[in-house]
Structure 1
Amino acid sequence: METRRLVLTLTGILMAVIVVIGGLGVILLASGGGDGDDGPSDGDGLGERVEGELRLFGPDPITLDPACASDAGSAQYIVEIFSGLVSFDRDLKVIPDIAADWEVSDDGMVYTFNLRSNVLFHDNSRPVTANDFKYSLERALNPATQSTVGEIYLDDLVGAAEFRAGDADEVSGIRVIDPQTLELTITEPSAVFIEKLTYPTAYVVDEREVGDATCFEANWTLTPNGTGPFKMEEWSLGRKIVLTANPRFHLEPAPSLERVTYILSGGSSFVMYENDEIDITGIGENNIERVRDPNGDLNADLYESPSLSVFYIGFNAREAPFDDANLRNALSLAIDRELLAGEILLDLVVPAKGILPPGMDGYNDSLPEIPFDPDTARDLLEEAGGPDVLDGATILTSGQGATPSIILQAVVAMWEQELGVTVTIEQEDFGLFLLDLDKGRFEMFSLGWIADYPDPQNFLDIKLHSESANNEAGYSNPAVDALLDQANRETDEAARLELYQQAEELIVDDMPWAPLYHGKASYLVKPYVEGFVVPPFVIPNLRYVTINR
């Protein structure tokens, strides 16, 4: 869930822990400052455990406002505190959530949702109504809210464009039929509209609490009045987040855990796991061989699973010199993906040959691998103007430390060795990094994308259609747009996936991104934690978990 621009950078933890959502549920099994063997736990003084408590290491969220979240680190909390009309189950099927059921018109454009009558906000003050959803959806779309994601996930609604432009006071495609009935009308049939409604921009929030708050007015999120399986008990900034079970949650199974404590500070999460301070941790390259040893003391705790994600280097295709596909392909062909995935990341990831990850519907197994071909790379670089066109080039990344990720350093070293070019890595605070991406203030950037929902549209259309607000690279190819538009309208599933594969082939030829690898989740779980899995993207997950000491 960018992300769910569910957003992940290559800096940080070397994808040891795949996450995560933004993607982004997939819990961000972060390794703190790294999961190295020599970093002690800092000791957080959180006190004795309570019965039925799950302890995790987590990031300090950028936001807990569902209308505003674009990163998986924030989304992992939001999906537990809030809820919407529909959600995903663990089989990644869309299921009723606050909506008891829904009907779709024969033309595929009108969705009528019948709300459950027993869904209360966490303060138990009143039930959720269709008017609450109308307020929440329009708030996410309202330019005054300053959401960067509302338009992306709710633009199918009739009247959304007019509302955002200020030409209408409400979204005409959102109709309250009665307190328990909501009607949503979209501009054309869509195979993924119902899946888009699982994204937090469609979650319900309490108007009495939120009012006119923008994405930059977040005081209300310290004590949010949600409807999800867990309630906010405490958010101590930079220290911990404590969630407690919602005893009136409307879906089965209801939460078994009494509370979930996220430790937001500390040293190595791996050391914290060994010290029994947390119950689950991701595993990085420093410890993966030890953990994979069948005779090792932690091998029985090891779980590995796929993640619907891609990590890549993006190019600013709007401006020279990166508007030249020859240059972009030259840089891509000078990257040894097998070396990155195998020798540096110790097979914690899978080398990428395209945009769509393995396991995704529409994944093209016959797509040729992107070779490591320095000779062709040098020829293409000469066609693009030679090494001098990259004089002073920079690659933007997000990072909190002084040292960029080893992956990014390795890529830059490959470019210098194979192409004779020097590229400087520039690190920024995550918030500024996202802002610079939105404003196009970069030459190259490193980023990751984790599925918001398991459909090629979520990767290809949202990230690479020329009219998408989330197309940071500024990539534009009319032939690709036409294929994506046709795929979005196609109702035959096989034909739709074929169109996405055709679009992906053109995209890979143009190389607006240099895809590096697809993630896998490698993590440790204490034996007394039952029912925990890492889904391939961020979904509500913790209500299935029990503690059995």
Structure 2
Amino acid sequence: MRKIWRFIVLLLLVCALLIPSVGCQPWGLSSGQDILNLWDIGPITLDPAISSEMTSHTYVMQIFSGLVRLDAELEVVPDIAERWQKSQDGRTYTFYLRHGVKFHDGEEVKADDFKYSWERACDPATSSQTAATYLGDIVGAKDMLAGRAKEISGIRVLDDYTLEVTIDAPKAYFLCKLTYPTAFMVDRINVEFGKNWWRQPNGTGPFKLKKWEQGQLLILERNEFYYGELAKLKQVVFHILAGNPMAMYEKGEIDVTPLFRNYIDLAADEASPFHRELAVTPELSLYYIGFDTTKPPFDDVNIRRAFCHAVDKERIARLILRGMLAEAKGILPPGMPGYSQRLEGLEYDVGKAKELIAASKYGDVSNLPPIALTVSGYGNNIPDYLGTIIEEWRENLGVEVQVRQLEPENFLYHLKQERDEMFMLGWVADYPDPHNFLDNLFYTGSENNISGYSNPGIDSLLNQAAIEPDTVLSDSEGSTRLSMYQQAEQKIVGEAPCLPLWFGINHILVKPYVKGYQLNALGIPDLSQVYLERR
């Protein structure tokens, strides 16, 4: 997902463990045969055009919907569009909408609602940070984003139930982009109600918002007008920062919780009830430390490589992270089409790191400018693994790195203006295509290319891969397109615009009576498929 700074959520969850359970009673605790209780940090927004991080997505994807969606296997399947046709040149898609799809208030959905929603997202006045990435392939979208047009020329409403969309070039991943919240439909009347319309959203998803007490409680209620299979749950109650989630789980106050590191041994014990309630799923995500390649000292590739070689990621993942995250040698995580075990990463090698510093234009660490690392969090609570990384740079290279912390609510919006020489980020896939990682994070000028990295040769390779008609994604062998992405990834890793740290693995505890609750490889649950089976 565009700026899915997954580590922000993890830091907040860790901080939650420091909240004393005494006096932190869940707000409005509800229970019942068809009411699911969850702990969460709460959404930043419920506006699909603005939502750009995982916590908001979790809610937006229950309340709103789009033309297409990803199923449990991350395949694109029909949603509001019951079918579509693609032109022979691969540039024009004709979507045929279901009849009788209704907003939560009962009003019927028409094709013009999609045209309005997408043009609203691309309107500069909306200030969407995601529209360029996920709708920018549509002809005319960039003109509207730049304020040069009042509508998107590549979108045509043929009739109430037929929408024609033309993109700038044939792209295998285009339909995948339409599964992202930016492409979801909103109700024009609802939006024009006022600036904070999204606090009372009128969507089309399987759930609707019943109640929202900011910082305390959010309740989703089953949408009885839903065009698909009705949700099995009557309500989902989110207890926002209500206390220690593990303590709440043990007391039966919530039904699902993330598993924290200090509980991993207990969960591994076959005699523990946690062992039977543990669900582990790999996630298509990457945690990394980025280097600002536009200013000293990381404008020198040798310095970037040296910092990568000086960190023993395998040891940290094993001893500190307790195997709850996997060491990352490259950018593409296991399970992502194009992932290659043959990729050559910058392995832990202190001698090599020192040689690279000597070969750099700085010659010696004494000539390096002050270096700071921007992170998200509160109260100088730095993750222990980050402290270990900084200590390894000190011991192995003789370099002191200062940490500058931004509060999470400011981090997302001010990183570009306030970042230092290094910054710590995370990225979770929006869809299972290497384009989502490599283009978004490393293409010259990409909004998510925080490092300022630029390589015309890699840009050219990524451009070729983007329009390569080979759509084989299950196996990279024999796939020209995936081979191009693998070449690009290897070159990017070699030039080290970032230090890849870990690939994500989700560990959650789920009560035995909760059925159908699972996180997909993008880390999002489909709450409409969850039901309770209490005895």
TM-score of the superposed pair, with normalisation by structure 1: 0.92
Q: What pairs with 1:119-130 in structure 2 (closer than 5 Å)?
A: 119-124=101-106, 126-130=107-111
1:8 aligned to which of 3, 6, 9? 6
Do the aligned partners of 1:387 and 1:420 also contact (CA within 8 Å) in 2?
Answer: yes
Q: Which amino acid aligns with 1:373?
A: D
Which aligned pairs between 1:329-368 and structure 2 lie closer than 5 A?
329-368=305-344
Moved more, 31-40 or 380-389: 31-40
The 8 Å contact of residues 374 and 419 in structure 2, kept in 1 or not, is answered as no
**Maintained 8 Å contact 2:286/2:426:** yes
Shift of 1:401: 3.6
Hey, what's the Cα distance between the residues in 2 that align with 1:161 and 1:208? 25
Q: Could you say if the C-alpha distance between residues 539 and 13 of structure 1 is closer, same or farther in structure 2, counting changes exceeding 3 Å?
A: closer
Instruction: Give the equivalent residue in structure 2 for 1:400.
Output: 378
Q: Distance in 2 between matches of 1:484 and 1:283?
A: 38
Could you report, residue by residue, the CA deviation over 1:433-468 in whole angstroms, capped at 9, with x for unpaired residues? 222333474321000000000110000011111131
Aligned to 1:328: 304
Match of 1:209, SS state, is: helix
CA distance in 1, matches of 2:378, 2:63: 27
SS at match of 1:33: helix
What does 1:233-248 correspond to in 2, within 5 Å? 233-248=210-225
Of 494, 497, 500, 1:515 maps to 500
Q: Which amino acid aligns with 1:471?
A: N
Contact 1:283/1:522, CA 8 A, preserved across alignment: yes
Deviations 1:76-135 (A, max 9, x none): 1110010000001112111111111111111100001111111111111x1111111011
- Secondary structure, counterpart of 1:307 in structure 2: strand
After superposition, the CA RMSD in angstroms is: 1.8
Q: Distance in 2 between matches of 1:541 and 1:472?
A: 31
| Match of residue 221, structure 1, among 198, 203, 213 | 198
Task: Give the Cα–Cα distance (whole angstroms) in 2 for the partners of residues 67 and 390 of structure 1.
Answer: 42
Shift of 1:392: 2.5
Q: Residue 280 and residue 337 in structure 1: after superposition, are their counterparts in 2 closer, same or farther (change >3 A)?
A: same
Report the Cα offset of residue 407 of structure 1. Answer: 1.9
Alpha-carbon distance between aligned partners in 2 of 1:442 and 1:137, rounded to the nearest angstrom: 35
| 3-state SS, counterpart of residue 404 of structure 2 | strand
Deviation at residue 6 of structure 1 after TM alignment? 2.2
- CA deviations on 1:271-293 (whole Å, 9 max, x unpaired) are 11101111011112111111111
Tell me if the contact between 1:110 and 1:184 (Cα under 8 Å) persists in the aligned partners.
yes
Select between 140-149 and 534-543 the one with higher mean Cα deviation: 534-543
Matches within 5 A, 1:297-312: 297-312=273-288
Offset, 1:251 = 1.7
**2:85–2:95 Cα contact (<8 Å) kept:** yes
- 1:392 & 1:40 partners in 2: Cα distance? 44
Q: Could you say what secondary structure the match of 1:377 adopts?
A: helix
Contact 1:55 1:262 in 2 (8 A): yes
Q: What is aligned with 1:536?
A: 521
Q: Which has the higher contact order (CA 8 A, sep 6+)?
A: 1
Measure how far apart 1:298 and its partner are: 1.6
Specify the code of the residue in structure 2 equivalent to 1:6. Answer: I
Return the letter of the residue paired with 2:394.
E
- How many angstroms apart in 2 are the aligned matches of 1:41 and 1:150? 43
440-449 vs 300-309, which moves further: 440-449
3-state DSSP of counterpart to 1:298 = helix
Aligned residues: 525
Distance in 2 between residues matched to 1:54 and 1:420, nearest whole Å: 52
2:442 maps to 1:460: no
- Hey, what does 1:137 align to over in structure 2? 118
Alignment equivalent of 2:173, drawn from 192, 195, 210:
192
Aligned: 1:75 with 2:51: no
Question: SS of the counterpart of 2:156?
Answer: strand
- The alpha carbon displacement at 1:35 in A equals 4.5
Deviations 1:32-64 (A, max 9, x none): 625479866821242341330111111121111
Q: CA deviation at 1:406?
A: 1.4
Matched-pair contact (CA < 8 Å) for 1:41–1:271: no
* Per-residue CA distance 1:299-358 (angstroms, 9 max, x = gap): 110111100000000011122221111111111111111122110010001100000001
Task: Say yes or no: does 1:150 pair with 2:135.
Answer: no
| Structure 2 Cα separation of the partners of residues 491 and 458 of structure 1 | 17
- Which of 389, 398, 418 is equivalent to 1:420? 398
Instruction: Write out per-residue CA displacement over residues 349-398 of structure 1, whole angstroms, 9 at most, x where no aligned residue.
Output: 11000000011110011112431111111221233312235442110011
- Give the one of 47, 55, 66 matched to 2:37: 55
Contact 1:104/1:112 (<8 A) preserved: yes
Distance 2:125 2:419 in 1: 23
What TM-score, normalized to structure 2? Answer: 0.95
Which residue of structure 1 lines up, in the alignment, with residue 87 of structure 2?
Answer: 105
Q: What does 1:381-530 correspond to in 2, within 5 Å?
A: 381-384=357-360, 385=362, 386-439=364-417, 441-492=419-470, 493=472, 494-530=479-515
Which residues of structure 2 form unaligned runs of 5+?
473-478
Cα deviation for residue 211 of structure 1 reads: 2.7
Query: In the alignment, what sits opposite 1:27?
Result: none
How far apart are residue 470 of structure 1 and its match?
1.4
- Are the aligned partners of 2:279 and 2:510 in contact in 1 as well (CA < 8 Å)? yes
Residues 348 and 152 (structure 1), Cα distance of their counterparts in 2 relative to 1, 3 Å cut: same
Instruction: Determine helix, strand or coil for the equivalent of 2:15.
Output: coil
